[in-house]
Structure 1
């Protein structure tokens, strides 16, 4: 947010600077160089003496008056040949000099002007130029004055712009805070502005959006929670009824059917438990921060796997150390990945972990892998690449979604890649 207003401030300053140069060049183009005008005003006394006193002398008195002026002023007044004067001036000023106009040499604090055009002042005066130098010209002071003018104008522009921008900046900071809180799951966050605030309509829309999202998510959670709990009752009844039916059944075929039904009920019960776990993760009420040693925790996660399935090759960095987080949730995320590897691998599974800038935990297998086009979807709830395969291996399409939510609650990320073993490679990256 600060970057936006910094760029705005830089843009305003650049606009003022460009406007300053534009004014200078436009004025120079239309009315002549402003510096020459300033120099002319500063040398006005010497120009007045030349034009109103010396030039109005009779022909035999011109040089006399020139000498009198030399005696009473500190400015040096010399007579130089026309060719010498032309050599001292830029080419673009030669025309003005030839026409008898007064030509300023601001850089050297001097001016040139022909004595006359027709030799009327004295013999040979048409070929001579009066050169006045050491004039009281101080362009530096004039430039400072001009700079002060532009600075004052800039300040009078920037102060109201800054005040106007500050109100927007504070408002956007508040909206940014609310957006961050909503993004972090605190959906009750709202922006508070007075109705007269410029940003009030945007804040109202953001509040309405946050309220709408909160209502929809609450309704979804309540629905899932209610449905999950309501399902527990008929499931318990089915389990009780099947147990009674088993005790009364003598037919082996019926016994086999009862076993299959008990498997279906167990699967349904597992689905309800997974749904309730998802709801708890979404509500962010399950996170219990504590410090724990990572290596023993990961080894305990391996010990909890099905001993009859393929066991992972474990490679743990000796410097893993400890980390702070919800041990149960993190191990559940790793456990879900390991169980998936057991289901879909062909016998080779690997678990590795190392600490660099953060903690990286990798689970990979030698199974069929996950197509690149499907890798962004496998973390969606209930998404399964091959439903027929899932029916044979079990699962509801919630394991990876739960793992991703658990990792995200700890500020980490989980990604899927192609493994060097041939199957899928899941990488959990957690902050240090």
Structure 2
């Protein structure tokens, strides 16, 4: 604190000293006319007596009279002719001197008093303030400044010490530490920024810990099965058919591990932000149709119905017809159609996004819905405010309790109800959906469908292409990797 106090005090004292010096040297010239008039008014009687005294001692006696005056003051009287005074003053001062007025020089330290016979009396202005008084005044000013700086520094130093203690505690591992500052403090905004930073860091570290715990848990089960299966293959003599079954089970565990690693890598890339986005202008109808076509077999295998809802024109300009008529997996006449198109709200013809990531998010939502839907799933696209693209996936399953909706997008989070680990998956699908929405600058929310099931709503804002698109604006999004 002492070092900061000394630095601040030196800055204040030096700044104040420079200001005082500027006032003393420059203000007399800036306000010369006003100072001159004030001097005339203040010394009117003195000038009258001096002029009368010198007029009564004209001729040879005037020099002796001036010497007598010098004995009684420090003005340094001297007689000058008007020709000698002219180069020492300005034109305006010279005219005022010719008019019989007292004038001051530019420094306002000397004055010239014209007499009636043309002689000019030169003298120094008397200064009633002594050097001791001036020194005492400046010392008092410096002391007052010091006290003010000490009070100011002490108040803010106390707040800074609180912030320093909070930062030290947070750095030592106490992640719940927050800075406590008064709302009247000048560093209140800084402490709030520190608290927000601490909150985000705490949330990030806790998230990473949960991720590591979840990854460890997910890897442990297939690895244990692999270890057990390999031990059985090496030790137990079994028939070729039984060994074949065990080998297939081991391959299944390896594929499960590969899927988990792929999901984790995808989530990791998405958490790095917009650097991995490949933006392009995409036909919304083609994107939706491609996603629905990829899910048609899964939907049919589970005896479900997928309704695709968009309206408008295809990229080629033709009316959009029934998707079931051109979707692989559509059933023969008379059988239940697994995918059907139902025109509803207005959908933009094109939207700028990363088609692979958006398709991945929609596929994750649809796969999630196929696990829990009883009979029907719907996929729809519509236009929101300011040109946003709204994508909706809902099912008629058991739904998700309101208390659990805020956590379903967390990695490895599973519910204790019917939507749990036994239905398949690693608990990363919805986390990837959320990250896809966030890297596009949008969001995703979970609502309750009219049927009581889950309703996921992805909102993607209108984006601009980073570079002019080459070739056709329509992009092939049939492959989503």
- TM-score (structure 1 length as normaliser): 0.44
TM-score, reference length from structure 2: 0.40
Structure with bigger RCO (C-alpha 8 Å, 6+ apart): 2
Q: Which one has the bigger helix percentage?
A: 1
